Amino acid sequence: MKYQFEDLKDAVVIITGSGRGIGKGIAEVFADYGSKIVITDIDADTAKATAAEIAQKGVETLSYICDVSKYDQVEAMVADVAAKWGKIDILVNNAGITMDGMFLRMKPEQWQKVIDINLTGTYNCTSAVVQVMRKAKKGAIINISSIAAGGNPGQANYSASKAGVIGFTKALGKELAPMGIRVNAIAPGFIQTAMTDKIPEKLREQMLQAIPMKRPGQPEDIAKAILFLASGLASYITAQVIDVNGGLSSL
């Protein structure tokens, strides 16, 4: 058969922040299609545990402790993957944090840390990985933005970082297209993870009620869209953002 995601078998996939949550869900789905999985996370315990869990699916895995906001750590991780496996086919820039607060009380550190991890972290990983992909003249990069890129009160830092990810995706998609590297983004709505578990219950309930599909998204819902964008099925798609949100139009 022609389109069976065969291109994902043995493809080397780096997923940042994949010790838990959406990143872990992405790793599981790529493993189901036979990809070689690189788990990277700032949290050593979850990175190791998740890599061990994924390996039980019968695929090769590597795990790294890597803070995406630190260029030297990212460079070392990418160099090691390239040395061990000889190529990098897919990068998923998933690592991200929230440090919410109303703007009048938002401290400079609160602003900077969210930008450093969500936006600069995306730059850092992409910068290092593109050096490997350009030699192969192929690759797929998928960035995780958010529905909050549209502007969410109490999330000026997060919304700015995720809107930045969209601009980055559109610019780079066009720039790298002649090199055979596609760059796209997913903008998730409300996905059930530790990140959304920390939202106060009343607000969480209101958000859930606003979702036309009347359920929170699961990491697998995001992973399936990423799998599509990474695969040959999306061979003519670049510089795009796909909303995966159960019909929710804003938070």
Ligand X SMILES: NC(=O)c1ccc[n+]([C@@H]2O[C@H](COP(=O)([O-])OP(=O)(O)OC[C@H]3O[C@@H](n4cnc5c(N)ncnc54)[C@H](O)[C@@H]3O)[C@@H](O)[C@H]2O)c1
Which residues, numbered 140-169, are part of the site for ligand X (CB under 6 A)?
144, 146
Taking CB under 6 A as the rule, does residue 33 contact ligand X? no
Q: Which stretch binds ligand X (CB under 6 A): 6-14, 92-100, 101-109, 236-244?
A: 92-100
User: What is the pattern of x (binds ligand X, CB under 6 A) and - over residues 52-91?
Assistant: --------------xxxx----------------------
* Residue 245: exposure state from Cβ atoms within 10 A (0-12, 13-18, ≥19): buried
Q: How many residues bind ligand X (CB under 6 A)?
A: 30
236 a catalytic residue:
no
Query: Contact at 8 Å (CB) between 8 and 230?
Result: yes
Q: Tell me how far the alpha carbon of residue 191 is from its chain's centroid.
A: 13
Q: Whole-number minimum distance, CB 70 to ligand X, in Å?
A: 8
Q: Measured between alpha carbons, how far is 27 from 51 in angstroms, rounded to an integer?
A: 9
Instruction: Name, in order, each residue with C-beta under 8 angstroms of 56's C-beta and a sequence gap of 6 or more.
Output: none
Instruction: Name, in order, each residue with C-beta under 8 angstroms of 221's C-beta and a sequence gap of 6 or more.
Output: 188, 191, 244
Bridge-based pairing of strands 90-93 and 241-244 is: unpaired
Query: Contact at 8 Å (CB) between 48 and 63?
Result: yes
Q: Which of 28, 33, 37, 41 binds ligand X (CB under 6 A)?
A: 41
Which residues, numbered 175-214, are part of the site for ligand X (CB under 6 A)?
188, 190-191, 193-196
Annotated catalytic residue within 33, 64, 123, 158: 158
User: Which spans of this chain sit near ligand X (rule: CB under 6 A)?
Assistant: 16-17, 19-23, 41-43, 46, 66-69, 94-97, 117, 121, 144, 146, 188, 190-191, 193-196
